[in-house]
Amino acid sequence: MDGIRVGIIGMGFIGKLHLDALRRLDGVEVSAVSTSHPNAEFGCRICNSWQEIIDDPSIDAVHNCLPQAMHREVNIAAMAAGKHIYSEKPLGMDTSDAMSQLKALKEHPVAAAIGHQYRANAAVAELRERIRSGSAGKVLFFSGRYFQDSLAHGDDYSERRLPENSPARTLSDLGSHLLDLSVHVLGSRIRKVMALMQTHYSERQGHPIHSDDTTFLLVEMENGVCGTLAVSKAAHGHKNDLFLSVSCSEEELSWSQEMPDRLSIWSREKGNAVLFPDSRFFSDKASRLTTLPAGHVMGWADALRNSMALFHSSIRDGSWRGDVDYATFADGCHVSAAIDAAVLSSSSGRWEEVEA
């Protein structure tokens, strides 16, 4: 395949960032976007309905940047039309919503990715490679958090992205990234979870609230490694504070999204160190995600660009039919199942198995 022609559906916060990222890629052209704002200009053809993008035979791949509740319908329509699909996260509203998309993918095989772009950060890739190679020793445990502050005050209220009363609102929005990151870095799926979901304000601006503002998780992976994860939208001053650390028998490795181009290495004997992306110190796999010379800070937008580069190069060389480093629809089903198990655990008070 020569140039890949892309249509983006949904031009809100993340849709505009997809457009920017795609325009940084060679061999990829954004030929049309679908937006509910008819007077918008994006330097390409504007469609007033998402079906126009799906029905356009010249479009090879669709980027679905619509709200979560619309992912399934559009993703399934794209796959049925034979278009490769890069869907924003989380894949579905729950496990059955996500599984129906995986079923459609099996019927209409195409390249299918989910927007868990943190996998494609160079320092995250290096963290993963060090865990895989065993250079930090045996993995003992892990801990992570994803904190933001958009619901920090009792009168904060927003229906954007997710219905206010989805049972796992914060766990779904933020936790989907943290769960995917943990699975990816640790190289193991989740066996079971124990959850405590908290609603800090039972009412916001006169609306009764039943969804989680903060969720704590105890997690056991299929490889036996255990960890703690926490997500919150009520953490004052934390803007996009995604953090993961993995404690191993020789040293601890950690990464913080707000200092995105650093891998921290903690050691009782050697002291603590910070490693910046540099092909002399990073593995080949991580170095391939290093798009700027050392010292030129790579961050959030670069990981997004890298994630799309991995997806589109897998379309170009056909490698999407095998193992890929980006999050797949099967990964999205697993994350949804972990979230559903957490909701169940929070009411049962017991460990719950992750079914998918």
Ligand X SMILES: NC(=O)c1ccc[n+]([C@@H]2O[C@H](COP(=O)([O-])OP(=O)(O)OC[C@H]3O[C@@H](n4cnc5c(N)ncnc54)[C@H](O)[C@@H]3O)[C@@H](O)[C@H]2O)c1
Residues that bind ligand X (CB under 6 A): 9-15, 34-36, 50, 65-68, 88-89, 115, 117, 160-161, 173
Which one, 247 or 307, has the nearer CB to ligand X? 307
Strand pairing report for 84-87 and 112-114: parallel
Q: Which is nearer to ligand X, 31 or 283 (CB)?
A: 31
C-beta of 14 vs 105, nearer to ligand X = 14
Nearest distance, CB of residue 209 and ligand X, angstroms = 19
- Rounded to a whole number of angstroms, the minimum distance from the CB of residue 240 to ligand X is 9
Structure-token match 């609306």, residue found: 207
Q: What is the 3-state secondary structure (H, E, C) of 136-202?
A: CCCEEEEEEEEECCCCCCCCCCCCCCCCCCCCCHHHHHHHHHHHHHHHHHHCCCEEEEEEEEECCCC
Q: Bridge partners of 242?
A: 146
CB of 117 to ligand X, least distance (A): 6
| Residue 136 tokens, joined | 């930090």
- 175 versus 227: smaller Cβ distance to ligand X: 175
- Residue 145 CB, shortest distance to ligand X, in Å, is 16
Specify the length of the chain in residues. Answer: 356
Q: Which residue is nearest to ligand X (CB)?
A: 12
Contacts 24+ apart (CB under 8 A), 349-353: 350/194, 351/192, 351/193, 351/194, 351/218, 351/220, 352/192, 352/193, 352/194, 352/195, 353/191, 353/192
**To the nearest whole angstrom, how small is the minimum distance from the Cβ of residue 146 to ligand X?**
11
Nearest residue (CB) to ligand X, 139 versus 335: 335
